[in-house]
Structure 1
Amino acid sequence: MIGDRRTGGVVGGERWRLCLAGAGNVGAGFLALLRDRHADLVGRYGVDLSVVGVAELGGAAVDPAGLDLAHLTSALADGTPLAALPGVGRPGASAADALRECAPDVLLGATPVDLTDGEPGLGLVRAALASGTHVVLADKGPLALAYDELAAASDLGAGWAEPDDRPYLRFSATVAGALPVVNLGLRDFAGEEILRLEGVFNGTSQYVLRAMESGTGFGEALADTQRRGIAEADPSLDVDGHDAAFKLLITANSVLGARAGLADVEITGIRGVTQDAVRAAGEAGERIVPLAVAERSGDGYRLRVGPEALPADHPLARLHPDEMGVVFHASQVRRISAASLEPHPEPASAAMLRDVLDIIRTQAKRREGPCPS
């Protein structure tokens, strides 16, 4: 059994215990960020974020007293297996094993995306929420495949006027790294009718198309994104449109209330885009971008992902090769756009930290209770 965390974490200057599942680019970046910012977080926010467990393929490192982040990040940089770390290594331990042993306040999910069943991330999130553990996700799979279920098991399943003791679920890192797509949609369009949402949500596809404009071949540009850690060793999720589809689906369900599944998203990748097509678009005063669109249609939304030519003055056509962006069109607030420069995976790591701090702040408000009348 995982220890029951329904009482939540601790606030003020006390300690919040974190367990990280997945030590790839984003997970390792989060650990490095926490290592570098720990003193500032204590001083500025009064919170001590202590990593008590980290799991990767083949093993884990666990220490209820808190893992040494300098040693941990050094081991990951050197390629040393976490299971081999003296005293804290757990050979053969899975992320679920680490979660059970740690009984943390917050589970951080950064495992690889699985298109079929969402595992191991989905099972981890289910177990964490069932035990009252708060969850922060960078892994898109669980939300893309089971958003309604996970939202219902978390604070997202309660109305604003009906607070309860369900654990918190945050996932801003799942949609275009640090770009505040979900936060912007939920907060700044609260009470609004969003008519259309447009986004460039996949950094790999954006970079490749922009490189093709300068004459770089598709394969060469793609290899460069892999070298920089933007694309995975298998880039098919990126260039075939599935990564952007996952992000659009999460946004549609969480922000628009679309109640959609992957089968509802029309998906086209960028493999079929030729340099001739890119050149022709430029000559016509347009630019081909890897566009994700949710557009109001009757009582719901039509969802699609694929390369489209936009006028050169469109906010998403003006993006830098390393930028991602979003544009909201609504009935009263006619248009709001945002962009983020993300040449490396670190912004997604920063988004995870942002979500952890949001949970701590929200927990503190919950404990304070309603203001006396």
Structure 2
Amino acid sequence: MAREVRFTCIGLGNIGRNLLDILVHREEAIARDYDLRFLLVGAADSSGAAISPTGLDMARVRDLKLARQGVAAYEGAGRPGMSALGMVVSTPADLLVDAAPTNLRDGEPGLSCVRAALRARQHVVMADKGPLVLAFGELTALAKAQGVRLAFSGTVAGGLPTVNIGMRDLAGSGVERVEGIFNGTTNYILTRMDEEGLTYEEALRDAQEAGIAEADPTLDVDGWDAANKLVIVANSVLRRPTTLQDVHVEGIRNVTQADLRRAREQGKVIRLLAVAEKRGEDWAFSVRPTWLDRNHPMGRIGMWDMGVVYYTDYMGTISAVIEEKGPVPTSAAVLRDMINACLGV
């Protein structure tokens, strides 16, 4: 019989809702292949929370969100106005999923919930970047002290196992340089501008209409989303304590058709590239529009793609790319981390 894993989830937007949908459809396969059965015992969103020690119906929670209702409307289990932290501390569980919106001011509500779950010796799986950017060292030390897993492979380039490649698969080798296209929105915009001759404003509007850019696209187009992800890579893969203040950041607002044309004439493309470069005993970090040869691993990628290149001392150069047209691969990465955390992988 499959081992039951009780979990709570904070944040039921695109990532959290799609995670529940995947779990509904993959429940039997997960039980068969991994001997695990995930039971949602608590969930929280902006409306409040829902709690059931015997398990919430994940399809029902998903459908409430699709109907634009809050989880507090869950009949018999809803707790209108309950905070995410209140739900976490009052609900016995084995694992917390933090899929809350990223908040770079104070990391809330994710940061307090993650701290509480780790102190309660629960594994934590994160799609929320804010707590990691603001308190990576604290959270990883707390997880280690409590003997539980803190997993976050879905925070950098969605479903692409960027962090896993760097932390697990490059074990024993030294990383000398990292290059990444970590933000899909800016890659979409720059590719449409380059290949179709759109202006920045036209490409941004199309991205917003396609649902891949927010109404306020500042985090994406000004480079801060990519910088957040670079900070996570620096702390986790490079083991170099790093904050946003360590990253030189330039966005794409000032990239023009003339710039793209000059790059094309020289056989190059312009991408918003995140770079970590070893300099002596330390590292330099940047996110900026960069001219790349068209045959560069990050120069060849399409408008829906994200990717990473690791340059190492003994394992050579390793690149990986994902085509990601929506949030589902990130939700699948969260599930990957849930399974691996429970299996001790």
Match of 1:83 among 44, 57, 72: 72
What is the CA-CA distance between 1:124 and the residue it aligns to?
A: 1.1
Q: How many Å separate the matches in 2 of 1:133 and 1:224?
A: 42
Instruction: Say if 2:15 is the partner of 1:26.
Output: yes
The counterpart of 1:182, out of the listed 160, 163, 173, is: 163
2:76 is the alignment partner of 1:67: no
- The Cα of 1:330 is off from its aligned counterpart by 0.9
Inter-partner Cα distance in structure 2 for 1:48 and 1:306:
43
Q: In structure 2, do the counterparts of structure 1 residues 119 and 289 end up closer, same or farther at CA, with 3 Å as the change threshold? A: same
Q: Is the 8 A contact 1:245 1:305 kept in 2?
A: yes
Paired AA for residue 233 in structure 2: T
**Deviation of residue 89 (structure 1)?**
1.1
Q: What TM-score do the two structures reach when normalised by structure 1?
A: 0.89
CA distance in 1, matches of 2:207, 2:123: 33
d(CA) in 1 for partners of 2:211 and 2:43? 21
Kindly provide the CA deviation profile for residues 85-126 of structure 1, in whole angstroms up to 9, marking residues without a partner as x: 211111001111111222211110111111221111111111
What secondary structure sits across from 1:83 in the alignment? helix
Report percent identity of matched pairs. 45
| Mapped pair 1:332 → 2:321 | no
Does residue 55 of structure 1 match 2:37? no
Name the CA distance, whole Å, in 1 between partners of 2:261 and 2:287. 21
Of 274, 287, 290, which residue of structure 1 is paired with 2:256? Answer: 274
Mapped partners of 1:260, 1:171: distance in 2: 17
Amino acid of the structure 1 residue aligned with 2:266:
A
2-structure distance, mates of 1:322, 1:111: 24
- Distance, in Å, in 1 between the alignment partners of 2:61 and 2:17 is 9
1:4 corresponds in structure 2 to none
After TM superposition, the structure 1 stretch with the greater mean CA deviation from structure 2, 235-244 or 59-68, is: 59-68
2:89 and 2:117 in contact (8 A); partners too:
no
Rounded Cα–Cα distance in structure 2 between residues aligned with 1:120 and 1:256: 27
Structure 2 counterparts to residues 63-142 of structure 1, below 5 A = 63-142=52-131
Secondary structure in 1 matching 2:344? helix
Question: Could you tell me which amino acid in structure 1 is paired with residue 14 of structure 2?
Answer: N
Give the distance between the partners of 2:199 and 2:331, measured in 1 at CA.
30
Mapped pair 1:150 → 2:132? no
TM-superposed CA distance for 1:221, in Å, is 2.3
Query: What is the rounded CA distance, in whole Å, between the counterparts of 2:210 and 2:74 in structure 1?
Result: 28
Which of the residues 168, 171, 181 maps onto 2:149? 168
Pick from 176, 189, 199: which aligns with 1:208?
189
List aligned pairs for 1:208-247, cutoff 5 A: 208-213=189-194, 214-247=196-229
Paired residues of 1:228 and 1:344 also in contact (CA < 8 A): no
Give the residue type in structure 2 aligned to 1:42. Answer: A
1:250 paired to 2:232: yes
Tell me the SS of whatever aligns to 1:153: helix
1:217 counterpart letter in structure 2: T
TM-score, normalised to structure 2, is 0.97
Residue matched to 2:246:
264
Instruction: Return the offset for 1:220.
Output: 3.1
Corresponding residue for 1:367?
none
* CA distances 1:152-206 after superposition (whole Å, capped 9, x unpaired): 0113x7xxxxxxx521100000111011111001122111111100000000010
Whole-Å Cα distance in 2 between the matches of residues 108 and 224 of structure 1?
32
Q: Give structure 1 stretches of 5+ with no counterpart.
A: 1-11, 158-164, 364-373
Contact 2:235 2:241 in 1 (8 A): yes
The answer to whether the 8 A contact 2:227-2:274 is kept is yes
Distance 2:293 2:5 in 1: 48
Q: Is the 8 A contact 1:194 1:329 kept in 2?
A: yes
Contact 1:196 1:296 in 2 (8 A): yes
User: Aligned letter for 2:276?
Assistant: A
Are the aligned partners of 1:230 and 1:345 in contact in 2 as well (CA < 8 Å)?
no
Q: Does 1:292 align with 2:281?
A: no
Among 319, 323, 326, the alignment partner of 1:344 is: 326
Given residue 81 of structure 1, which amino acid in structure 2 is its aligned partner?
G
8 Å Cα contact 1:121/1:142 also seen in 2: yes
Cα distance in 2, alignment partners of residues 55 and 288 from structure 1: 41
| 8 Å CA contact 1:54, 1:62 repeated in 2 | yes
Alignment partner, residue 366 of structure 1: none
* 1:154 counterpart SS class: helix
Q: CA deviation at 1:233?
A: 3.1
Which amino acid is 1:301 matched to? W
**How far off its partner does 1:297 sit?**
0.9
Deviation at 1:51, TM superposition (A): 1.1
* SS of residue paired to 1:20: strand
